[in-house]
Amino acid sequence: MSQSIPLLTWLVTLLTAVVLAIWPGILMGLSQYRWGRALVGWAAIPLASVKLFRGDTHATLELLVWQLGSGYPLAVLGYSGCAYLAMHTTGEPFNGLLVVGGAAFVSALVTLPVTMITLSIEQKTRYPVIEYLLSGWSVHGIMLIHLVISALLGWLVALAAFALH
């Protein structure tokens, strides 16, 4: 099946997946105060938006939460673009799911070195990969679950656009 997907589609998907992996990789390398609310994922966006536009006293914190949470809708847009490109060039909706699955896998792999670089900059020391994998797997897993949810939502958006086309 993947042989029918053009090489250009795979290259665009690979580039998109790498770009989309930078945001969660940086978040996972920051201090707990900064990324803690991003773990809530999609649920943080509406509440932070309401508080931000209502003008609450902690508007800077809500702005930060809103900015951290806005990466998820951007991931949906990126993944849906890749899925739609695959569906449009091949005419098969399953190829869009295949491309999105590949993009989510690449994003998951790319977040590891980005997190390592962010940790080394934040702590001004080298952070061992094995130590991170043993201690930070739960946080990394939660963030990657949100990326997979974004990828599946992106495929559904692309499928709807493909059906309307």
Task: Please determine, for residue 155, whether its predicted confidence score (pLDDT) is greater than 90.
Answer: yes
Q: What is the pLDDT of residue 152?
A: 92
User: Is 154 part of a structural domain of the chain?
Assistant: yes
Report yes or no on 60 lying in a domain: no
The number of folded domains in the chain is 1
In this predicted structure, what is the pLDDT of residue 165? 80
Residue 82 · residue 13 · CB < 8 Å:
yes
pLDDT in tens, 21-77: 888 777 777 665 555 555 566 666 666 667 667 766 565 555 566 666 677 788 889
Specify the residue for token string 């992996």. 21
Q: Which domain holds residue 89?
A: 2-38+72-164
In a domain, 44, yes or no: no
Q: Is the pLDDT of residue 2 over 70?
A: no
Q: What is the mean pLDDT of residues 95-105?
A: 93
Q: What is the pTM of this model?
A: 0.77
Please tell me the distance from the alpha carbon of residue 146 to that of residue 38, in angstroms, as a whole number. 10
pLDDT for position 103: 93
pLDDT surpassing 90 at residue 95: yes
Quote the pLDDT of residue 16.
94
Confidence of residue 135 (pLDDT cuts 50, 70, 90): low
Q: Answer whether residue 62 is part of any domain.
A: no
Determine, yes or no, domain membership for 21.
Answer: yes
List the end-to-end C-alpha distance of the chain, in Å, as a whole number: 22
For residue 45, being part of any structural domain is answered with: no
11 domain-assigned:
yes
The conformational region for residue 41 under phi > 0 = left, psi -120 to 50 = alpha, else beta, is left
The answer to whether 89 and 9 have CB atoms below 8 angstroms apart is yes
Whether the Cβ atoms of residue 48 and residue 69 lie closer than 8 Å to each other: yes
Residue 76 lies in a domain: yes
| C-beta of residue 150 within 8 angstroms of C-beta of residue 76 | yes
